[in-house]
Amino acid sequence: MSQGFSPQLGMAESAQAPKLVYLVTGGCGFLGEHVVRMLLEREPRLRELRIFDLHLSPWIEELKTGPVQVTAIQGDVTQAQEVAAAVAGAHVVIHTAGLVDVFGRASPETIHKVNVRGTQNVIEACVQTGTQFLVYTSSMEVVGPNIKGHPFYRGNEDTPYEAVHKHPYPCSKALAERLVLEANGRKVRGGLPLVTCALRPTGIYGEGHQIMRDFYRQGLRLGGRLFRAIPASVEHGRVYVGNVAWMHVLVARELEQRAALIGGQVYFCYDKSPYKSYEDFNMEFLGPCGLRLVGTRPLLPYWLLVLLAALNALLQWLLRPLLLYAPLLNPYTLAVANTTFTVSTNKAQRHFGYEPLFSWEDSRTRTILWVQAMEGTAQ
Ligand SMILES: NC(=O)C1=CN([C@@H]2O[C@H](COP(=O)(O)OP(=O)(O)OC[C@H]3O[C@@H](n4cnc5c(N)ncnc54)[C@H](O)[C@@H]3O)[C@@H](O)[C@H]2O)C=CC1
Ligand SMILES: CC(C)[C@@H](O)CC[C@@H](C)[C@H]1CC[C@H]2[C@@H]3[C@H](O)CC4=CC(=O)CC[C@]4(C)[C@H]3CC[C@]12C
């Protein structure tokens, strides 16, 4: 990807000497890496890009050959001092770091500590060090699906919906998002107001998506077949990771100019990806890679799936002292997958001119090529 003139920046801004310092927390993650690379390609005002992560990736080194100073910071968002040191001097913080766990790998306490306490630390660091602009990566899960299984059918940011959560992950994302939005307008060091917003991606897909990798490998183990568990009629919103990254870059740029409009707001992340069931959507990529989804309707009755999911949860609990057993099917993932949740909105377009950077066809091709490249490494 080459450095190019950004459509949203005028000639004057893009000709300005690069002077801004950005910090991306979780910059080595699935979404974080795409945000980092998108900033380097499409934010011409960037002087320094700080990549803060618990686990730094080796690919960071290849980014240090360009004109932008790339600073890798190994750190933990749950440690306030480490966060403050990383934030100090940054103009913009994009906070993607989080524990994305719905498979029971981490304890509820750890999920809360990273996702909530970590976000609190980022907010306080902005206030204490004078950083004025904070973009938080929230999630559709802040809204739903709720524990009552109510469908959210092509809803938007203003659609009434009873957000009721019990699972640690959505609870932590909802609390963190609330903290970020409530912090909007707080005075930071130097007396200027903190401007915050939250982006709510639906299910993100694309190069580097671990769950897609898991489905692919499961299909290879089952002789090239995956077995339908969810009715095709249950739509699940999905959005390409490159478009999510682009929305982060764009809103971070527009926060300063349109603080009164964007500050304190939430935005669903969306693009032209088709509305399909989670499994059918995955087959858009896994099909061309040789896998087949068996069954035009779920092969097992729902009550049996519920039983199997509960059995998986019991096994996970029994085996925990010995090993981590964390299959894709558990009571939470089954309930979420089985509840329609899709968005239809243009709030990001109305507020800061967002348009998807990648078409559905391009998003699909890029994802297929990534899965195919994985074939060489699949066990
Ligand atoms: N993957 C998805 O479908 C969606 C993800 N999101 C949100 O997007 C964000 C990024 O998610 P993904 O890229 O999918 O996850 P990921 O697990 O690939 O990336 C998260 C990154 O945060 C880092 N991290 C975790 N704990 C940390 C800590 N204590 N200190 C510093 N860094 C830490 C990890 O090392 C990792 O690099 C998360 O906030 C997640 O809630 C929102 C909607 C959908
Ligand atoms: C085993 C089958 C029932 C299979 O269909 C299960 C699929 C299941 C693993 C996924 C279905 C919906 C996914 C979640 C959804 O995309 C919303 C999310 C938002 C996030 O912020 C993080 C990821 C996730 C919770 C995502 C996780 C995987 C699913 C539950």
- Write the pLDDT tens digit of every residue in 171-205: 999 999 999 999 999 999 999 999 999 999 999 99
pLDDT at 10: 57
The answer to whether the CB of 237 is under 6 A from ligand 1 is no
Query: Once rounded to an integer, what is the mean pLDDT over residues 277-286?
Result: 98
- Counting ligands in written order, the one closest to the CA of 309 is 2
pTM: 0.96
Per this entry, what is the length of the chain?
379
pLDDT at 7: 44
Residues 194-229 as b/e (b if ≥16 CB within 10 A, e otherwise) read: bbbbbbbbbbbbbbbbebbeebbebbbeeeeebebb
Distance from C-alpha of 208 to C-alpha of 183, rounded to nearest angstrom: 32
Span 289-302, pLDDT tens digits:
999 999 999 999 99
Quote the ligand 2 centre to 59 CA distance (angstroms): 27
Structure token pair of residue 192: 């200027």
Query: Which residue's CA lies nearest to atom 25 of ligand 1?
Result: 98
Neighbours of 147 (CB within 10 A): 16
Query: Once rounded to an integer, what is the mean pLDDT over residues 349-374?
Result: 97
- Measured from CB, residues less than 6 Å from any atom of ligand 2 are 100, 102, 139-141, 203, 211, 229-230, 236, 278-279, 328-329, 333-334, 336-337
Distance from C-alpha of 96 to C-alpha of 27, rounded to nearest angstrom: 7
% of the chain beyond a pLDDT of 90: 93
Quote the ligand 1 centre to 31 CA distance (angstroms): 7
Span 58-94, pLDDT tens digits:
999 999 999 999 999 999 999 999 999 999 999 999 9
Query: Once rounded to an integer, what is the mean pLDDT over residues 359-373?
Result: 97
Residue 145 has pLDDT above 90, yes or no: yes
- Counting ligands in written order, the one closest to the CA of 201 is 1
